[in-house]
Amino acid sequence: MKIPYNIHTIWLLMVVLTLSTYALGKLGYGGIVVVFFLLLTAVLKGGLIIRDFMELKEVSLLWRVIMYGWLWTVCIAIAITYMISI
Amino acid sequence: MTTETFDTEVKLLPGDLAIWFFIFMELLVFGIFFIAYAVMRVQNIEMFNHYQLTLNRELGAANTLLLITSSYFVVRAVHAIKLNKVKQCIYWLYAALGGGLGFLVLKSIEYADKFSEGISLSTNTFYMFYLSLTMFHFLHVILGMVILFAVAIKAQRGAYSAHDHIGVETGASYWHMVDLVWIVLFPLVYIMR
């Protein structure tokens, strides 16, 4: 079955990802693998907001680099600090 | 700046260009704040891990769902006005405002709980970051709601149509930024350990 890609399914996907983030916290999971998963989840959700909610998927490369660049830079910097500390 | 382009062309940023410079600056500030939190955590791992467990993850997750859903409602408002469905646009904008209001209520409950325990910015480094980061975001939610409310009022006065809806896109872009920031803030402050 082909799952439609539209703002409704995007919203649903973000709800599921949020619940998975909450579940990991509730179950008390930690460690670098969990941190990577949580950051990738944040990147995926953030990417969906930038691409489909803000409707930046067809704007010039400069604006997309700024927005996706912010998201990736922040998440990679956070990942590095956790790699140092775990 | 117009939003009317052909599909084959590179599209312009939705809404007013000025709001995007504002958004970029806001993201820069929040980004520095997030990295500062992560760096300070390296120097105080036990403290951060211990006090993180005192946060209300249920309210944090509920607030994430509220903001995501509110952002979705704003997308619906933009789509509606592009089809010249002004009434639907107004309804979706007020629905989004409802989501924002829900966020503020839950966050206020969270703060009331912490303040009743005597927790403040000076309690320790973790709470300093937790309170300042989330309160800074809280103020942005209020500003976003003021913008959306102004857009909704203008929409009620017939200021927007399928051919002229830059104001709706401008408000929507700012509101999505508020959501985007929380998407990183929630796992960072409430969950990651």
Say what percent of chain B tops pLDDT 70. Answer: 96
Query: For the residues of A4-62, what is the DSSP string, one character each?
Result: P-SHHHHHHHHHHHHHHHHHHHHTT--SHHHHHHHHHHHHHHHHHIIIIIS--TTB-HH
Using only C-alpha atoms, chain A has a radius of gyration, in whole angstroms, of 15
- In this predicted model, what pLDDT tens digit does every residue of B82-124 receive, in sequence order? 999 999 999 999 999 999 999 999 999 999 999 999 999 999 9
Q: What residue ranges define each of the domains in chain B, with the CATH number in brackets?
A: 56-191 (1.20.120.80)
Structural domain boundaries in chain A: 7-85
Q: What is the pLDDT of residue B11?
A: 85
pTM of the full predicted structure? 0.94
User: CB of B117 within 8 Å of any CB in chain A?
Assistant: no
User: CB of B81 within 8 Å of any CB in chain A?
Assistant: no
What mean pLDDT comes out for the span B7-17?
81
ipTM score for this prediction = 0.95
Mean pLDDT of chain B: 95
- In this predicted model, what pLDDT tens digit does every residue of B57-77 receive, in sequence order? 999 999 999 999 999 999 999
Say what percent of chain B tops pLDDT 90. Answer: 93
Residues in A touching B46 (Cβ below 8 Å)? none
In order along its 86 residues, chain A shows pLDDT tens digits of 677 889 999 999 999 999 999 999 999 888 899 999 999 999 999 999 999 999 999 999 999 999 999 999 999 999 999 999 87
Question: CA separation (Å) from A46 to A24, A77, B89, B181?
Answer: 19, 16, 24, 8
- B8 falls in which pLDDT band (50, 70, 90)? low
Query: Any idea which residue has 């829900």 for tokens?
Result: B102
| pLDDT above 50 for B2 | no
Q: Which of B47, B54, B68, B71 to mutate to test the interface with A (most CBs of A within 10 A)?
A: B68
User: CB of A15 within 8 Å of any CB in chain B?
Assistant: yes
